[in-house]
Amino acid sequence: MKVLIIGSGGREHAVADAFGRAAETRQIYVSPGNAGIAQEYACVQLKGHQEIRDFCQKEEIDLVFIGPEQPICEGLSDYLRKQGIWVFAPSQKAARLESSKAFAKYIMSKYDVPTARYSLVKSLAEAEIKIQEYGLPVVLKADGLAAGKGVIIAENYEAAHQAAAELFATNAGATGILVEEYLKGWEVSLFAITDGNDYVTTLFAQDHKQLYDGDKGPNTGGMGAFAPVKSAEEYRMAIERDILKPVLKAMREEDCPYTGILYMGLMITESGAKVIEFNCRLGDPETQALLPLLKTDITEICKRVRDHKVAGMKLKWEAAVCVAVVLAAEGYPGQYLKGIELSNLQAKSQLFYAGVTSKNGKLESSGGRVLSLVAKGENISEARQKVYADLEKLAEPRLIYRKDIGLRENIL
| Contact residues for ligand AMP, defined by CB under 6 A | 116, 139, 141, 148, 151, 153, 180, 182-183, 187, 209, 265, 276-277
Near ligand GLY by CB under 6 A: residue from 114, 283, 333, 368? 283
Interaction partner, residue 349 (ligand AMP, ligand GLY, none; CB < 5-8 Å by kind)? none
Least distance between ligand GLY and beta carbon 286 (Å): 5
Q: Which residues of 265-286 are buried (b: 16+ CB within 10 A; e: fewer)?
A: bbbbeeeebbbbbbbbbbbbbb
Among residues 14 and 340, whose Cβ is nearest to ligand GLY? Answer: 14
Q: Which stretch binds ligand GLY (CB under 6 A): 2-10, 72-80, 191-199, 282-290?
A: 282-290
Among residues 31 and 115, whose Cβ is nearest to ligand AMP? Answer: 115
Q: What is the footprint of ligand GLY within residues 207-236 (CB under 6 A)?
A: 207, 222
- Cα dihedral 317, 32, 323, 232 sign: negative
Query: How many Cα atoms sit within 13 Å of 360 on the Cβ side?
Result: 4
DSSP-derived letter for residue 183 is P
Residue 319: count of CB within 10 angstroms of its CB:
9
Q: At residue 198, what are phi and psi to the nearest 5 degrees?
A: -105, 165
Cis? peptide before 257, omega within 30° of 0 = no
Kindly determine how many residues on this chain lie close enough to bind ligand GLY according to the rule CB under 6 A. 6
**Burial of 26: CB neighbours in 10 Å, binned 0-12, 13-18, 19+:** exposed
Among residues 283 and 355, whose Cβ is nearest to ligand GLY? Answer: 283
Interaction partner, residue 183 (ligand AMP, ligand GLY, none; CB < 5-8 Å by kind)? ligand AMP
Interaction partner, residue 286 (ligand AMP, ligand GLY, none; CB < 5-8 Å by kind)? ligand GLY
Least distance between ligand AMP and beta carbon 78 (Å): 24
286 binds ligand GLY, rule: CB under 6 A = yes
> Would you list the DSSP string of 195-223?
SSS-EEE---BEE--EEETTTEEEE-S-S
The percent helix, strand, coil of the chain (3-state, each to 5) is 35, 30, 40
Least distance between ligand AMP and beta carbon 222 (Å): 9
Among residues 167 and 356, whose Cβ is nearest to ligand AMP? Answer: 167
CA 138 to CA 184: how far, in whole Å?
11
**Burial of 135: CB neighbours in 10 Å, binned 0-12, 13-18, 19+:** exposed
Q: Which stretch binds ligand GLY (CB under 6 A): 108-116, 159-167, 280-288, 289-297?
A: 280-288
Among residues 180 and 284, whose Cβ is nearest to ligand GLY? Answer: 284
Among residues 62 and 187, whose Cβ is nearest to ligand AMP? Answer: 187
The H-or-E segment that residue 126 falls in is helix 124-134
Least distance between ligand AMP and beta carbon 225 (Å): 13
Least distance between ligand AMP and beta carbon 236 (Å): 20
**Burial of 200: CB neighbours in 10 Å, binned 0-12, 13-18, 19+:** buried
Chain positions contacting ligand GLY, by CB under 6 A: 207, 222, 279, 283-284, 286
